[in-house]
Chains A and B, each alone.
Chain A
Amino acid sequence: MSNSTPSTLRTAGTLAALAVAMFGFGYLLVPLYDKFCEITGIGGRTGDAVAVEALSGEIDTSRVVTVHFDATVNSALPWRFEPTQRMMDVHPGKLYETKYVAYNLSNRPVIAQAVPSVAPGRASLFFNKTECFCFTEQLLGPGESRDMPVRFIVDPNLPQGTSLVTLSYIIYKNDAATAVLAAAD
C-alpha cells in the first residue's frame, strides 16, 4: 500500500505501543488501589503497628473509647461466627484481647477467610491489630468449634471526638483451598 509511508507506520507503531501500555496500566491500577487504601485507610485497611512498637507507647487513661464488635457470615459459608463480647471500653495505647467464636455447622472440613473493616473510616488507621485470625486462613473440621483471638491497640492519636469504633468482620468460604482439602481426602 502506497499509503504505508514510514511516517504512517511510525505513528501507528507509537499508538499501538500506547495501547499496550494502557493495558498494563489497567493492571497497575490493582497495586495502586491497594497502596491508596493503605494510605487512606479505606477498603477495610487498618493500622499495621507491630506489637513491640505499640506496647512501648503511652497509655492514655484519661480517655475511654468504646469498641463495638460485629460479625457477618457470607451465605456460602456453613459456619456460625460471632464475637464473644459485643462491646468493650478501652484506653488508647493499651493492648486488649477479645475472642470471636466460630463453629463449623457442616459435616466436612471448610477453610474460611475473615476480612476486617473499621468504621468510622477516619478511625481505621488508628486501630491496630497486633494479632488477628484474619491474618491467616482458618480451617475447621466437621462440627468443630474454636475461639479465635484478636489483640488490638487503639492509637492514642485517634482523632478527638471519636468515642465509638466498630470492628467488623465478614467471613468468607475460601472455595479454592476448601476444594484442595476435599480432593486430598
Chain B
Amino acid sequence: MANATTAHHDDHHDHHPTGLARWLFSTNHKELGTLYLIFSLAMFLVGGAMALVIRAELFAPGLQLVNPEFFNQMTTMHALVMIFGAVMPAFVGLANWMVPLMIGAPDMALPRMNNWSFWILPFAFTLLLSTLFMPSGGPSAGWTLYPPLSLQGGNSLAFVILAIHLMGISSIMGAINIIATILNMRAPGMTLLRMPLFVWTWLITAFLLIAVMPVLAGAVTMLLTDRFFGTSFFNAAGGGDPVLYQHIFWFFGHPEVYILILPAFGIVSEIIPTFARKPLFGYTSMVYATASIAFLSFIVWAHHMFTVGMPLGAMLFFMYATMVIAVPTGVKIFNWIATMWRGSMTFETPMLFALGFVVLFTIGGLSGLMLAIVPANFQYHDTYFVVAHFHYVLVTGAVYAIMAAVYYWLPKWTGHMYDEKLGKIHFWWSTIWVNVLFFPQHYLGLAGMPRRIPDYAVQFAEFNMISSIGGFMYGFGQLLFAYIIWKCVRGGEKATAQVWEGARGLEWTVPSPAPLHTFDTPPLVDDKVAVHADRLT
C-alpha cells in the first residue's frame, strides 16, 4: 500500500486467481456480494428445513416425530439461522453489490475487511450447527437464550456463544465498511440527500448494527461467564437477576428487528418507483421516517417483557413509545401508495413481491400494534399470536423484500433476464401458501396456544393442520426460487443496461452483467441522474 506500484497492481485484478482461490481471496465487492447471497440462500434452506420439522411435529396433536428436546432445539436454531444466517447476510450481500454501484464508487471502502467479514460466517455457522451433533444437543432455550433456562443445558452453549460472537464481529465489520463507503466514496455531486433510499436505509441500519451488536456480545459473554466461570450476573443465588438479562438482550433485540426490516424498506422504495414509472413520493420524509424509526427502536425494548413485572409508569411509557413507531411507518406506507397513485404500473415479479410486502407487512405491523397494548399483551404474550406477528413482518416483510431485490437486480448481476413466467408462479404460490401458513396462527394465539411447545390441546388441531399444510407448500415452493436463480445464471434473454423501462439511477448506467470493475472513473452526478431528490417530483 505504501508502494504506489504495488497498489496499482493490486487494484486491477487483471490476472485474476481462478477456482477456489478466486472466491477465498476475493476483495471485490461484487464477488463478495454474490458469496453473501449464496450463503444466505443456503442458510434460508437449512433454516427452512428446521421450520418444516417444527410444522411436521405440530401437524397433529401428540408427540409423533421428534422428542420435545429436539423440538426445542429446532425452534431455537430455526430462529438463529434465519436471523443471523439468512436475512442479515442477504441484506449485507445486497449492500455489497448495490451500494458502490448506486453511489458511483469503484468498490467498498475496506475491501480486505470485506473479505474477512464474509469468510467468518461459514465458520460461525459450522460452529453453531455442529452443536446439533454434540451429546448435549444444540441450544434449546429459544433464540433469546433467557437465563436461567439457557444456563441449565449442556456445554454446547459455549459453542453457540462463540458462534454468536463471530456473527457479531462479521456484522460489525460489515457495518463499518458500509458506513465508511457511503460517507467517503460517493461520486462527485452525489450529496447525501441525492442518495437512493436503499443506500440511506442501509446507512442507518449500519449505525444500528454498530450500536447494538456489541451489546448482544456483552450479554452472551455474561451468560458464558455465569455458566462456566462462576460469575453471577443473572444468578439469583449469587445476587444477580435474570430479569437484567432480558433488559440487556432486548436493548439489542429491538433495534435488531429494525436491522432486519429497514433495508427492506429501502428495497421497496427502489422497486415501486421503477414499476410505477414515477419518482418516489416524499423522498425526504422517507429519510426522516427511517431515522425516526431507528431512534425509537432504542426506547421501546421493554415491550417484549411486560409480563415480567414493572411499574405502571414504565408500562405506559413503553406502550406509547411503541405505538409512536406506527407514525413514521405509516408515513412510509402512505408514500409507497402515493408513489403508485396514477402511475403507469406494470406487474413484473419484483413489483409483485414489493406489493406483497406492502400489504402483508402492514398486516404484521397492525398485529404489532395490538401486541403493544399492555393489557392485551398479557393475554397474547408467548402465544402463537406473537409467532404470527413476527412471521408476517419477517417472512412476508424482510424475506419478500429480499426476493423482490433478487428478481429486480438479478438481470444486472447475471446479464440475463430470469424466467418471468416462473417468477410470477413463485410469487403467487408463495403468497397463497404463506398466508395459509401464518394467518391461522393468529387464531391459535388468541385462543391461547403457547409458542415453543411440541404438543397442544386437541381444540387447536384444525388450525395447526392448515398451518402445517401451508408451511410445507410454501417451503417446497422456495426450491422453485433456487431453480429460477440457477436458470438465470445459466442463461436467458440478454438484459440491457437499463433492464427495466422505468429504472433510474447509477446502477442502471453500467452494462449488464455489471463488469467486475465499475466506476473506476467516478461519474458526475447532478439532479438529472439523482432521480430520488424531492425537487424532481
Q: Give the interface of A toward B (CB within 8 A).
A: 1-5, 7-8, 11-12, 15-16, 18-27, 29-30, 33, 37, 40, 42-43, 74, 112-113, 115, 121, 170, 172-176
Contacts and interface: CB of A to CB of B under 8 A. Distances in A.
A175 B215 CA distance: 28
Contact of B180 (A15, A23, A43, A115): A15
B215 A1 contact: no
Interface string B108-133: 11111100000000000000000000
A4 B247 contact: no
25 contacts: A1-B7, A1-B27, A1-B111, A3-B106, A5-B184, A7-B184, A8-B109, A8-B110, A12-B109, A12-B110, A15-B175, A15-B176, A15-B180, A18-B210, A18-B211, A20-B214, A23-B218, A29-B244, A33-B241, A112-B237, A115-B236, A115-B239, A121-B311, A172-B236, A172-B237
B179 A11 contact: yes
Contacts of B252: 26
Nearest to A1: B111
Contacts of A20: 214
Nearest to A15: B176
A175 B107 CA distance: 55
Nearest to A29: B248
A176 B230 contact: yes
Which 6 A-B residue pairings sit nearest by Cβ, starting from the closest? A26-B218, A172-B237, A23-B214, A22-B214, A26-B215, A15-B176
Interface centre among B11, B238, B309 (most CB of A within 10 A): B238
Given A42-B311, A170-B236, A25 B11 contact: no
B373 interface: no
Contacts of A22: 210-215
B310 A33 contact: no
Contacts of A11: 109, 176, 179-180, 183-184
Given A1-B11, A113-B239, 9 more contacts: A3-B106, A11-B109, A19-B176, A22-B211, A22-B212, A23-B215, A26-B252, A30-B233, A121-B311
A22 B311 CA distance: 27
B218 A42 contact: no
Contacts of A172: 236-237
Report, as a range, how many residues of chain B touch the other chain: 35 or more
Contacts of B27: 1
A8 B219 CA distance: 30
Nearest to A174: B237
B183 to A, nearest CB: 6
Nearest to B169: A19
A121 B210 CA distance: 36
B33 to A, nearest CB: 16
Contacts of A115: 236-237, 239
Contact of B311 (A5, A8, A19, A40): A40
Contacts of A173: 237
Contacts, number: 119
Interface SS majority for chain B: helix
Contacts of A18: 210-211
Interface of B: 1, 7-8, 10-11, 27, 106-113, 172, 175-177, 179-180, 183-185, 210-219, 222, 230, 233, 236-239, 241, 243-244, 247-248, 251-252, 309-311
A95 B110 CA distance: 68
A9 to B, nearest CB: 8
B393 to A, nearest CB: 25
A4 B214 contact: no
A176 B27 CA distance: 49
A89 to B, nearest CB: 27
Nearest to A20: B214
Contacts of A3: 106-111, 185
A43 B109 contact: no
A180 B27 CA distance: 53
Contacts of B185: 3, 8
B145 to A, nearest CB: 14
Given A3-B108, A26-B248, A43 B241 contact: yes
Given A3-B106, A19-B172, A26-B215, A12 B236 contact: no
B149 to A, nearest CB: 13
A15 B113 CA distance: 14
Contacts of B247: 29, 33
Contact of A27 (B1, B180, B218): B218
Contact of A12 (B176, B213, B222, B244): B176
Contacts of B112: 1
B228 to A, nearest CB: 12
Contact of B10 (A1, A21, A24, A25): A1
A29 B247 CA distance: 9
Contacts of A25: 214-215, 218
Contacts of B177: 12
Contacts of B180: 8, 11-12, 15
Contacts of A7: 184
A158 B252 CA distance: 37
Nearest to A7: B184
Contacts of B214: 19-23, 25-26
Contacts of A43: 241, 243
Nearest to A173: B237
B18 to A, nearest CB: 22
A43 to B, nearest CB: 6
Contacts of B7: 1-2
B152 to A, nearest CB: 10
Contacts of B310: 42
Contacts of B216: 26
A174 B241 CA distance: 14
A158 B222 CA distance: 37
Contact of B237 (A4, A121, A175): A175
A33 B244 contact: yes
Most chain-A Cβ atoms within 10 A of its Cβ — which of B106, B111, B237? B237
B243 A23 contact: no
B328 to A, nearest CB: 24
B182 to A, nearest CB: 10
